Amino acid sequence: MSAVDPDGDGTSAAHEGRPHPTTNGVSHHPDGPFALPQHALNFSGQSPHHGDFLSASESAIQKRIALLCLEGQTDSADWRTPLAFTQKRHLELIEGYENSVDSWRVKDRMKTVSVALVLCLNVGVDPPDVFKPNPCARLECWLDPAALGTQKAVEAIGTALQKQYERWQPRARYKQSLDPTIDDIKKLCISLRKSSKDERVLFHYNGHGVPKPTVNGEVWVFNKNYTQYIPLSVYDLQNWMGVPSLYVYDCSNAGIIVESFLQFANSHQEEYEYHRKNFPDDTKEPPQQYGTCIHLAACANGQELPSNPLLPADLFTSCLTTPIKTALRWYTLQNKTRLLPEITLEMIDKIPGQMNDRRTMLGELNWIFTAVTDTIAWNSLPRDLFHRLFRQDLLVASLFRNFLLAERVMRSYKCSPISYPNIPHSTAQHPMWDAWDFTLDACLCQLPAVLEGADYVYSTFFTEQLTAFQVWLTYGSEERMPPEQLPIVLQVLLSQSHRLRALDLLGRFVDLGPWAVNQALSVGIFPYVLKLLQSSARELRPLLVFIWAKILAVDDTCQSEIVREGGHKYFLDILTDSYLPVEHRTMAAFVISKTFAENAAGQEIGLKDNVIAICLEQMAEPRGTLRQWVAITLGVMWTKNAQARWAAVRDSAYEKLFPLLHDPCPEIRAAAVFALGTFVGNDADRSDHANAIDSVIGMQLTNSCCEDASPLVRKELVAALQWLILHFEGQFTSVAYQTEEEERVRDSGITIFSPKDNDGVDKRSPENHMSFNHHKRAPSSALPGMPQHQSTTTPLRHGTVFQNVWKVLLNCSRDPFPAVAKSATSVTQRIRGKFASLPVSPLINRSDSDTPDRGSPKFGCTVTGLGDSGSPPTKTVPPSKLTNAIPKPADVPAALVNLHRFARTRKLFDAGPNQDDDVDEDMAVKATDAIVTSQFVKWCSKSFTLPMMKLREEQDVSANAHYQREWKFMRNHVVRNSSLVDTENAGPPRYDTQIFINRNLEVPSHVLFDPLEPVIYVADRNQISVWNYEKSFRVGSFPNSHPRPYRISDMTLINAHDSPFLLVAADDGSVRAWKNSSSTEKRSEDLVTAWQALPEVLPTTRGSGVVFSWEPPTQHLIAAGDAKIIRVWNMTAEQKVIDIPTRLDCSVTTLSSEPTGSNGVFAAGYQDGSVRLYDRRCSAADAQIMVFDGHASAVVSTKMPDHVLHHKLYSGSVDGDVKLWDLRLPNSVSVIKTVSGMSTMDVHARAEVICCGSVNQTANVYSFLGAQVSSIRHYDGFMGQRIGSVSSVAFHPFKMLLAVACSDTYVSVYTGLTDKKSARQ
């Protein structure tokens, strides 16, 4: 019989050791079989009205923002400006969720396969030590022995007891021993243990007709003639029964049996320890673990069984085997005054229905009883004990549920039932018994009418308990106690009348976090939701896919069960159901990916079910998250699966993934790289076709992702390219060696020879390659792109996939983001390690004087390893020295030559390496092991462990994060307004009042104000220092790059209105974003992201390096400098937008764009003095729209002040001219003559002033009309020192403050206000 019943076919779950959801056919519940509950999940586990709820929440936030802006407490611009680099990929480590909770699976599941029923009744004769009143309890198994003959009574009672047990375990083998002797019991126990092997045996002992157990650990049986009571030692009994065993003792003084049993168990262990210590040579087997046996006893030591004549004599057995009948009778006896007078014990015996039919009164009572007792056990026992007693063994679980009733009933008659392991006595007073009493009261009130033929009205127990669970969910959290009703939710999953609401509440519960998922799995949810995957009800699909997504996100060990039961087909149907919301289909794709991950058997089944084709059909979905998980699913499907790879080849799957490499979402691009990487990493038999496909993928990856701004994508790129390295180690070793040779040649200054010989013929050309290399064979695993002529091959061509991949990996090893650089270094080191310890070519050690002339006959004319005319130059070697595109032993060690000649993968009929070749067998064996691993997929999966129904903080008007933003924006408004008053009322600011001065660690190159905190950021060559100018102390400092320090060339503050990040550019072309660097953040500095903003920037000491302009509203970054292009980045997508050629032979020295970025126009100042205007909305060829040729020297700075002048541009040059340009006119509007030797310039965003710093040790402030307002030449103080050459000046964005950084390492701050105290505020 099945453990669960998703469609109400009458099967039971009690026989699987779990709660007993009895049969439910066609429901007559007043709400109907599929009545939609109030909170049924619709989107990601959300209610049908959750979209309205979200709209209402968004509306509430919008109203709140509008009110704050209307009242003048905040500025609307703060709310509208997006935040950069605040996605999860920026703020958390890329690693998966680790489930630290113990496994929910029941360990050592077993069955009770044999039952020994030992009845010592001796009907008609009372034992000598027991006094029975008259009248007293006489019923045994609900039979009156007095009404039957002596022999017939014992047999009838034995048969009745067996039937009562069979209802709980029908498949066990039952043996009765009626009024037995010691020999009978011995034979019975030994035979059952022998047949049961390692399974559990139950020993039921009824001692109502014999004396009480003795203090010596003995129970009583009979002699053959029934003339004497014979003691049976528990010590012998446990030897005969063995382990595992379950004992039930229904007799007076039963507790002494349990105590004696445990003492004897300890004695066995002590004897063994003594024997092992004193006789070490004797190999005596260790004793059985008798302490693991389970015991249920009717009463404690010294207690007697109750003798109420209205109750059965075997009350304890009745509680264990017929709990509903016993509970009803006991409840009736205890509550006579509260029941209708016509309720009698005879009527209780006539309650209609079957125990396994939930549609009847008796069946529903049994169902509710199972839920109540399971709930009590769940909330009262430790998890491991609960699993052992209520989930490990079917019969044990049933008996212990019923034992909870025995605890309550027997204690009302001053008997204390005993169990081992111990069940807390508090279970008898658990609050759930009140709900059970209420249910009994409600049912018994209907009993007279039901017996007369009236319809039974179903109990409201489950509805009320689900409501209680719903109330808990409203306020529940991990810090609170788990909900008591969780086992009840489990019970009602199989009821059609409650199933939808139960799944809804269960989904809301598991959405609370991994702890909730572990709680649900621990209580036994898994087999229920697994069986429900066979249901065809469409309304359950959103609920089940949400719950399964939560389960697999926390624990993916159940994938084999899903495949075995065919559950993956359920999620494939959801994935292809276009009528379902894309969120549900995304969850289905996630579940499918987790099901087949690292599951070879599952992959084979998925391949038969066309998972690859189904996933490819979903690639056109416009919603990004689905495309991401479809790509991950594809990557999972063909991981280490050759058949799946070739199935994907037939469907051109890898080509359909190429467009995703340009997707605006970095996570989708990373998913596509992951899928292509696992495709290349498939360790199937290599062939020319396979190598051709790998080369196409390798070229596509290098061309599309090598300049990606997202470290997430670049790290996946390294993980993907490593498989090409592993498959073609020989070729990459050759390429790497050639690269090292070329670098050594360049560094040594050796003359580079022409590739032509004395005869003027280029031996690198394909036409002449045959004559020089006719003796060489083509590498068996060579990739396409290496020209071949029959059996010969040219040396590696410059620009082939090998060289492109190697170049990308080398660039990645120098990546500004440490995680990417570390991964790429690990990959490149594998190849470099193959020749690092080998001797250097003698050509490299030869000096210039030893180098022969070009026409010398000593040297040939073929370029080593490079085949086209566009190849970079390298040293030549004789034709005889050429072997497989690398020098032969004269120049390169033989090991390297052989390594390249015989790659790890080769053709079927390749001769293979020579026996004498030195082959590293260990390396060959481990070649398919990944060099670096990625946590990307696990990190993506972690998002499903987080609450998905809960409103995000930015949507919740009552969230702490929202209140914090309100406070920040109110503060911003106050700061802006106060500075506006200063600029309006203070008159022409002089900026000659010094309020801060301090010496920086090194010569500062840039200075920057935090607009809202009393902090300035000072950058020197590679260090960034943070100073508090109000309290005059250094907050801290941190380097911008490791390990090689690159010169900082530009920096700015982004997200300054909310959570400031420092954006820093260096002269190696990189840009880094740092968080937690201000004085208000006491944590250590963190690198948020980093990328190569400009390609091929040559680090210099006097060049521009990289300069950039940041547009907050559009999240665009414009970068230029010592390069031939101006590159525009979309940092929301972390993608390059456009490369605009400069068409000049000089560097871009400064960039400026409108702060709003609305019109797409920006200005660039050049070293030749020109200022050019660009529109990034145009094509690259037409982007330049205006040229201002007004400066005679290099442009120092350009500024587009937004709050002062619109469509205007200020530019300053080294000759001291500051010009104002109208962006619509080619000529300048006005010119301000300042001091010559200008090195830096800044324009105040609010006040109409300009500051120009000069190498002539002065910083002058001018008005917009050209009048000099002030001049800073000396530091404050008596005999003030002359300032050094000014390297950077910066105005505060709002306040009347000016920062000046000089070459003497001093940094000072000046105010335009005369009162220093008010200036600091």
DSSP three-state, residue 1187: strand
Tell me, what's the pLDDT at 662? Answer: 94
- At 859 the pLDDT is 30
- Residue 1316 has what pLDDT? 54
CA distances from 770 to 544, 595, 760, 799, 1071 (A): 66, 54, 17, 21, 49
Q: Residue 1236 in 3-state DSSP?
A: coil
Q: Are strands 792-793 and 788-789 parallel, antiparallel or unpaired?
A: antiparallel
In whole angstroms, what is the distance from residue 610 CA to residue 603 CA?
Answer: 10
- Residue 556 backbone phi and psi in degrees, to 5: -100, 20
Residue 326 has pLDDT above 80, yes or no: yes
pLDDT tens sequence across 1110-1158:
998 899 999 999 999 999 999 999 999 999 999 998 999 999 988 777 7
- Average the pLDDT over each of 309-323, 645-659, 1161-1175, 1190-1204 and give the range with the smallest value: 1190-1204
What proportion of the chain, given as a percentage, has pLDDT over 90? 49
pLDDT per residue as tens digits for the range 802-840: 999 999 999 999 999 999 999 999 999 998 887 765 555
Q: Specify whether the CB–CB gap between 525 and 531 falls below 8 A.
A: no
> Among 744, 743, 739, 730, which Cα is nearest to 842's?
744
Whether pLDDT at 913 is above 80: no
* Cα radius of gyration (the chain): 42
Per-residue pLDDT tens for 999-1032?
Answer: 998 999 999 999 888 999 999 988 899 999 998 8
Instruction: With a cut of 60, say whether residue 1320 has pLDDT above it.
Output: no
pLDDT value of residue 474: 87
pLDDT reading at 263 higher than 60: yes
Q: For the ranges 322-331, 668-677, 830-839, which has the lowest average pLDDT?
A: 830-839
State the pLDDT at residue 950: 76
Residues counted in the chain: 1321
Region 1277-1289 average pLDDT: 85
DSSP-assigned states of every residue in 247-316: EEEESTTTHHHHHHHHHHHHHHHHHHHHHHHH-TTS-PPPPP-GGG-EEEESS-TT------TTS-TTHH
Selection from 548, 515, 550, 552 nearest residue 531 by Cα:
548
User: In this structure, what token pair is assigned to residue 1293?
Assistant: 């964005």
Dist. CA 424–CA 439, nearest whole Å: 24
Neighbours of 585 (CB within 10 A): 24
Q: What is the dihedral of CA 361, 364, 365, 366, to 10 degrees?
A: 120
Q: In which band, very low, low, confident or very high, does the pLDDT at 1041 lie, cut at 50, 70 and 90? A: confident
What digits encode the pLDDT tens for the residues 94-137? Answer: 988 887 656 777 777 889 999 999 999 988 888 888 778 888 88
Convert the pLDDT of each residue in 595-643 to its tens digit: 999 888 899 999 999 999 999 999 888 877 899 999 999 999 999 898 9
Separation between Cα atoms, residue 818 and residue 1042, nearest integer Å: 8
Cβ distance 314 to 250 under 8 Å? yes
Q: Strand 245-250 vs strand 294-297: parallel, antiparallel, or unpaired?
A: parallel
Residues 6+ away with beta carbon under 8 Å from 1120: 1094, 1104, 1106, 1107, 1108, 1126, 1127, 1142, 1148, 1151, 1164
Mean pLDDT of 687-696: 89
Q: Residue 346: what pLDDT? A: 85
pLDDT for 553 beyond 80: yes
DSSP 716-771: HHHHHHHHHHHHTHHHHHHHHHHHHHHHHHHHHTPPPPPSB-TT--BTTSHHHHHH
Name the percent of the chain lying above pLDDT 70.
Answer: 80
Residue 898 has pLDDT above 50, yes or no: no
Nearest to 1117 by CA among 1088, 1137, 1143: 1137
Query: Residue by residue, what is the 3-state secondary structure of 519-554?
Result: HHHHHCCHHHHHHHHHCCCHHHHHHHHHHHHHHHHH
pLDDT recorded at residue 987: 56
Beta partners for residue 1257, in sequence order: none
Q: What is the pLDDT, as a whole number, of residue 1046?
A: 85
The torsion angles phi and psi of 31, rounded to 5 degrees, stand at -85, -5
Q: 966-981: per-residue pLDDT in tens?
A: 888 888 888 878 766 5
pLDDT confidence tier of residue 1205, bands split at 50, 70 and 90 = low
Q: Would you say the pTM of this structure is higher than 0.85? A: no
Give tens-digit pLDDT for 756-783: 444 444 433 333 333 333 333 333 333 3
Distance of CA 476 to the CA centre of its chain: 23
Please check the confidence at residue 720 and state whether its pLDDT lies above 50. yes
Q: Is residue 1179 predicted with pLDDT exceeding 90?
A: yes
Other C-beta atoms closer than 10 Å to the C-beta of 846 total 14
CB 877 within 8 A of CB 887: yes
Alpha carbon distances (Å) from 570 to 508, 537, 686, 1128, 1146: 21, 11, 36, 46, 63
Locate tokens 């109420």: which residue? 308
- Cα–Cα distance measured from residue 490 to residue 361, given in angstroms and rounded to the nearest whole number: 21
DSSP 8-state assignment for residue 80: H
